Amino acid sequence: MTNNITDRRVRRTRRALQKALVDLILEKGYDAVTIEEITDRADLGRTTFYLHYKDKEELLMHAIDTICEDFLETHSSLLAQIDSPENAIRQLRYNLDERILYHIFAHARENANLYKVMLRGEGGARATRRFANVIQDETIKRLEKIKGLEIKVPIEIFAVYFSGTIMEMVTWWLEENQPYAIEMMVTYCQQVFIHGALDTVTPGKA
């Protein structure tokens, strides 16, 4: 019981520090944020901060890891559905209710401020790279589990292209204040990524 209370207290403290950091970054930029400002915003002492993190970079990295782990844990069953070439292609081609793309955009909407910080490159290349690596690693992991699936390019190239496309689309969508519904963004991503640019751009009627 005591351990559970302590764990909850630790989670609350870390969430407060993470939120304070993210809010301050969006207000004034990563480089200008100080530890004192973070603790003041979170209504915590500097000693408390250093009990959990050595500096603001470690705090930002932990915030990124936390939301990535949250997404993967929450949607592990959805990700596991891709278990055969036929199933993989079917899920890539059709806009199902439980689409991975849909949940990526939904997760970005629920954690919009942190996503903006990550995708803008605030905190340096390491923060953006951490997020991209998670997407790439998970893409490779899922594809490698599908027996009999043929990929015409090295799997690492596919993963890099996929993660880059998704990150750019989510970044634009958030920065433009989500101008299209998630369902439409999924459809647009599928059209461009899955069907390809040449299929997307066609001659108009004269």
Mean confidence (pLDDT) of the chain = 81
What pLDDT, on the 0 to 100 scale, is given for residue 25? 94
What pLDDT, on the 0 to 100 scale, is given for residue 20? 96
Q: Could you read off the pLDDT of 103-112 as tens digits, one per residue?
A: 889 999 999 9
Percent of the chain predicted with pLDDT > 70:
77
3-class secondary structure for 154-172? Answer: CHHHHHHHHHHHHHHHHHH
For the chain, what is the radius of gyration of the CA atoms? Answer: 20
Mean pLDDT is lowest, of 81-85, 124-128, 150-154, for 81-85
114 Cβ contact list (under 8 Å, min separation 6):
18, 22, 63, 64, 67
Examine the pLDDT at 49 and tell me if it is beyond 70.
yes
What pLDDT, on the 0 to 100 scale, is given for residue 44? 95
Nearest of 154, 158, 141, 145 to residue 84 by alpha carbon: 145
Examine the pLDDT at 124 and tell me if it is beyond 60.
yes
What pLDDT, on the 0 to 100 scale, is given for residue 206? 46
Q: Could you read off the pLDDT of 62-95 as tens digits, one per residue?
A: 998 888 888 777 766 555 555 555 665 555 554 4
What pLDDT, on the 0 to 100 scale, is given for residue 201? 47
What pLDDT, on the 0 to 100 scale, is given for residue 81? 53
Indicate the DSSP class of residue 153: S
